[in-house]
Chains A and B, each alone.
Chain A
Amino acid sequence: MMMNRRKFLHIGFLGSLIFLTHGSDLFSVTTPKQTLALLQEDLFGYTKELNVDTYKYMNIVLHHSKISNSDKEFIKNGIKWLNEESYTMFQSTYTKLSSLQRQEVLKTISHTSWGERFIYDNLAYIMEAVFSDPIYGVSYNKGSQWLDFQSGLPRPTKAFL
């Protein structure tokens, strides 16, 4: 089956390989998709109960012209550094750690400037997904119901992102 260009690009970023090193040694290879999905669940797992498709949102946002290349690059680097920190602390990639170990890694990186920003950026993307208008096909107002929040009217009739 022929894959359209957009779909290819989506897989291109989140499915691309990240080479993980410790010192000068290559210890593993992963993809942004694997790590990002678990990381975002660790940061705000409530999205599952709210029926929010954060993976779909990341696919949208990471291919939008309004997200700068440096922001995209930072996500990719952050995933690499998160895994490298996981290896330093527990000799394994983030996705293979226990829940408690992953929390330890997050606490450690949260005290670094890159780690704090990486966590903040991910939380920002998660919250954008949770409170996005249903027109984006990612969330269906359960976030607004959770906080008893009334969205502004009129709602968008066309997705901007």
Chain B
Amino acid sequence: MIYDVCIIGSGAGGSPIAYELSNAGYNVVVLEKGKYYKEEDFSKDELAVSRRDRFSPDLKDEKHIINDTDSNGAITRYDGHEYSWSFWNGSMVGGSSNLMSGYFHRLKPNDFKLRSVYGKIEGANIVDWPISYSDLEPYYEKVERVIGVSGSIKKHLFLEPRSTPEFPYKKLQENGVTQWFDKACENLEYEYFATPRAVLSKNSLDRNACSYSNFCGSYGCATGAKGSARSALLQKCNAKIIPEAFVYKLTSDKKNVKEALYYDAKNVSHSIKATFFVLSAQAIESSRLLLNSKNTYFPNGLANTNQQVGKNLIFSAGGSGEGTFNFKNLSKQEQSQLMQTGLFFNRSLQNDYEFKKNNKIYKGGTTDFLFEHQNIISRVLSEVYNDDGEIIWGDALKQKIHNTLTTSRKLSFEVFNDWLPTDKCFVSVDPIEKDKYGVNVGVINLYGHPHDLMVAEHLAQTALNVLKEMKAENIHYSISSNPPPNLVAGGCRFGEDPKQSVLDKNCKAHDLNNLYVSDASFMPSGGSVPYTWTIYANAFRVADTLLSVLKSRV
């Protein structure tokens, strides 16, 4: 059998295409490495999900090699298994969108023309996107409706242009402490707004509303309220989904991909033939598959004639911080507000999405605020050191745990800014190390540009001002070049010039007629927000392109 479209990977990059094309009557198959879990399989089992990484492969079976380049240019090699350094995130049907917190921000118009607006930065490969914000806006709006985004529009300096006045779903219910936050921002004259969330605030789209379970990020959603690619798209279409199918090679001739070869759970090899192939296996793994698919026509890897595959890997730069509110400083009513669980905090700052420093305009970013994750085991374990940094146990530990967890709560913030693309940050393939399938593992070559740290530091200082104004105590933060494994993009950037990019502006490989890449790999820069909304929007855009191509073939 020859499918119309074969999609490799079922996350936010692949599922919109499966949804649109199968609903248009085309024969679509989705190959997913992970298992097929549904709402009834998800619980808030911290041991399984957070402590034992239920939804990630064992590193002894599947790992990465990490080459970390420091600021002096020295490279240190880490074996991901040996150092327990994992870049996996949500290996299952629907991918990591099952586990996201669903903090949804659009990119801004200037994010599409970073080079033109903010100029060249030494050592960074900054380019403008081949499309503009207005090209993607209709698809951002589509995601709001189809995936389901809850929020409330509040005008601010960097609010992006919208084709609709409001979100289709009202904002989620909020914890009372948001009022303290709002007041602090108003005192500081900072523009804040309620963070849009890909979580339904009411029953809709044949899915249930949020149950305010108190455990959202890192956990699968048992109500279906979270707009995962599985619940919002794959369970709403007739695409054939084959779980536990690890695609290890794409075969091709000079101009077309011919088949996807995959191993099933028993390590038996299968072949899928299709007219079109869409690769959306997550940025690192998509590049790895192309590099591992060398053949006579593509000796450097599929779609890699100009040796661009894997290049310009990016993450979200930034860091995080927190402050603590203690009962001793609060009224009874405030104590009650503080300990109210289940309701969301949902506040963001973007007033420094662009900022001026020493008479120069810099691209800034986003800061999201949220309560410390409710995971009880990790919260308890954060108490095992005393103020002098010494480990404690016995009664001293018991009292510290009880006092901290029953009379205080931490408010955290996360900074998102551009991780500048460079020649030193890229995906390659290890010539020796293999995974449990016998396939060469991916190598993640890491480097964080110093500019990223400067911007993140600026954003963090703004966040600290808010926590101080709120009278939080024990405020601290960390800015670093540590790559967040759930915020990875690039490796197959799109562009007009085949010598500088892997994909054309429609995300079709320059080298091949029937290969598209629709996960975050296409992004030349990441904006200064979490990527998922943009991945979804772009995948809907690619789906429209593919629909046109398929229709034109009749």
The residues of B that contact A146 with a CB separation of less than 8 Å are 402
Identify B401's interface contact among A42, A147, A150, A161, CB under 8 A: A147
Identify A160's interface contact among B48, B215, B384, B402, CB under 8 A: B48
Once the chains bind, are A44 and B52 in contact (CB under 8 Å)? Answer: no
Once the chains bind, are B43 and A157 in contact (CB under 8 Å)? Answer: yes
Once the chains bind, are A128 and B44 in contact (CB under 8 Å)? Answer: no
Q: Which of A54-102 contact B (CB under 8 A)?
A: 64-68
Identify A124's interface contact among B211, B376, B381, CB under 8 A: B381
Once the chains bind, are B222 and A119 in contact (CB under 8 Å)? Answer: no
With A123-B384, A128-B377, A144-B376 known as contacts, the answer to whether A154 contacts B222 (CB < 8 A) is yes
Partner-binding segment picked from A11-19, A28-36, A129-137: A129-137
Question: Nearest Cβ in chain A — how far from B175, in angstroms?
Answer: 14
Once the chains bind, are A44 and B341 in contact (CB under 8 Å)? Answer: no
The residues of A that contact B377 with a CB separation of less than 8 Å are 124, 127-128, 131
With A66-B58, A127-B380, A160-B48 known as contacts, the answer to whether A154 contacts B398 (CB < 8 A) is no
Identify B219's interface contact among A42, A44, A67, A152, CB under 8 A: A152
Q: B182 contacts the other chain (Cβ, under 8 Å)? A: no
Q: B76 contacts the other chain (Cβ, under 8 Å)? A: no
Q: B162 contacts the other chain (Cβ, under 8 Å)? A: no
The residues of B that contact A153 with a CB separation of less than 8 Å are 44, 211, 213, 222
Once the chains bind, are B52 and A66 in contact (CB under 8 Å)? Answer: yes
Q: B45 contacts the other chain (Cβ, under 8 Å)? A: yes
Identify A131's interface contact among B214, B376, B398, CB under 8 A: B376
The residues of B that contact A45 with a CB separation of less than 8 Å are 394
Whole-angstrom CA separation of A93 from B342 in the bound complex: 48
Once the chains bind, are A46 and B398 in contact (CB under 8 Å)? Answer: yes
Whole-angstrom CA separation of A147 from B341 in the bound complex: 14
With A43-B394, A65-B58, A131-B380 known as contacts, the answer to whether A150 contacts B44 (CB < 8 A) is no
Q: B268 contacts the other chain (Cβ, under 8 Å)? A: no
Q: A20 contacts the other chain (Cβ, under 8 Å)? A: no
The residues of A that contact B376 with a CB separation of less than 8 Å are 131, 143-144, 147, 149, 151
Q: B476 contacts the other chain (Cβ, under 8 Å)? A: no
Once the chains bind, are A133 and B406 in contact (CB under 8 Å)? Answer: no
Whole-angstrom CA separation of A144 from B384 in the bound complex: 18
Whole-angstrom CA separation of A132 from B45 in the bound complex: 8
Whole-angstrom CA separation of A67 from B53 in the bound complex: 11
Once the chains bind, are B380 and A154 in contact (CB under 8 Å)? Answer: no
Once the chains bind, are B406 and A64 in contact (CB under 8 Å)? Answer: no
Q: A110 contacts the other chain (Cβ, under 8 Å)? A: yes
The residues of B that contact A132 with a CB separation of less than 8 Å are 47
The residues of B that contact A65 with a CB separation of less than 8 Å are 58
The residues of B that contact A136 with a CB separation of less than 8 Å are 47
With A152-B213, A154-B222 known as contacts, the answer to whether A160 contacts B47 (CB < 8 A) is yes
Closest A-chain residue to B61, C-beta based?
A: A65
Whole-angstrom CA separation of A118 from B63 in the bound complex: 26
Question: Nearest Cβ in chain A — how far from B351, in angstroms?
Answer: 34
Closest B-chain residue to A147, C-beta based?
A: B405
Once the chains bind, are A160 and B52 in contact (CB under 8 Å)? Answer: yes
Q: A27 contacts the other chain (Cβ, under 8 Å)? A: no
Interface centre among B213, B342, B394, B405 (most CB of A within 10 A): B394
Question: Nearest Cβ in chain A — how far from B394, in angstroms?
Answer: 7
Q: Which of B377-416 contact A (CB under 8 A)?
A: 377, 380-381, 384, 390-391, 393-394, 397-398, 401-402, 405-406
Once the chains bind, are A147 and B381 in contact (CB under 8 Å)? Answer: no
Once the chains bind, are A44 and B406 in contact (CB under 8 Å)? Answer: no
The residues of B that contact A68 with a CB separation of less than 8 Å are 59-60, 84
Whole-angstrom CA separation of A103 from B392 in the bound complex: 11
Once the chains bind, are B43 and A154 in contact (CB under 8 Å)? Answer: yes
Whole-angstrom CA separation of A156 from B37 in the bound complex: 14
Question: Nearest Cβ in chain A — how far from B267, in angstroms?
Answer: 17
Once the chains bind, are B45 and A160 in contact (CB under 8 Å)? Answer: yes
Once the chains bind, are A155 and B380 in contact (CB under 8 Å)? Answer: no
Whole-angstrom CA separation of A121 from B79 in the bound complex: 22
Whole-angstrom CA separation of A74 from B380 in the bound complex: 23
Identify B47's interface contact among A106, A119, A133, A147, CB under 8 A: A133
Whole-angstrom CA separation of A44 from B402 in the bound complex: 13
Whole-angstrom CA separation of A110 from B384 in the bound complex: 12
Whole-angstrom CA separation of A116 from B391 in the bound complex: 7
Whole-angstrom CA separation of A157 from B44 in the bound complex: 10
With A106-B393, A152-B374 known as contacts, the answer to whether A128 contacts B213 (CB < 8 A) is no
Q: B46 contacts the other chain (Cβ, under 8 Å)? A: yes
Question: Nearest Cβ in chain B — how far from A131, in angstroms?
Answer: 5
Q: Which of B198-230 contact A (CB under 8 A)?
A: 211, 213-215, 219, 222
Identify B384's interface contact among A120, A135, A154, CB under 8 A: A120
Q: B54 contacts the other chain (Cβ, under 8 Å)? A: yes
The residues of B that contact A147 with a CB separation of less than 8 Å are 376, 380, 401-402, 405-406
The residues of A that contact B42 with a CB separation of less than 8 Å are 154
Q: A25 contacts the other chain (Cβ, under 8 Å)? A: no
Q: B436 contacts the other chain (Cβ, under 8 Å)? A: no
Identify A155's interface contact among B43, B214, B398, CB under 8 A: B43
Question: Nearest Cβ in chain B — how far from A116, in angstroms?
Answer: 5
Closest A-chain residue to B390, C-beta based?
A: A110
With A131-B46, A152-B213, A153-B213 known as contacts, the answer to whether A123 contacts B393 (CB < 8 A) is yes
Identify A150's interface contact among B54, B59, B214, B405, CB under 8 A: B214
Closest B-chain residue to A107, C-beta based?
A: B390
Once the chains bind, are B402 and A42 in contact (CB under 8 Å)? Answer: no
With A68-B60, A160-B52 known as contacts, the answer to whether A42 contacts B394 (CB < 8 A) is yes
8 A-B pairs whose Cβ atoms sit less than 8 Å apart in the complex? A120-B384, A120-B391, A147-B406, A152-B43, A153-B211, A156-B43, A160-B45, A161-B48
Given A44-B397, A131-B376, A150-B341, 20 additional A-B pairs, CB 8 A? A44-B393, A67-B52, A119-B391, A120-B381, A120-B384, A123-B393, A131-B46, A131-B377, A131-B380, A133-B47, A149-B405, A151-B44, A153-B44, A154-B43, A154-B44, A154-B222, A155-B45, A156-B45, A160-B48, A161-B47
What is the interface of chain A, defined by CB distance below 8 A to chain B? 42-46, 64-68, 103, 106, 110, 116, 119-120, 123-124, 127-128, 130-133, 135-136, 143-144, 146-157, 160-161
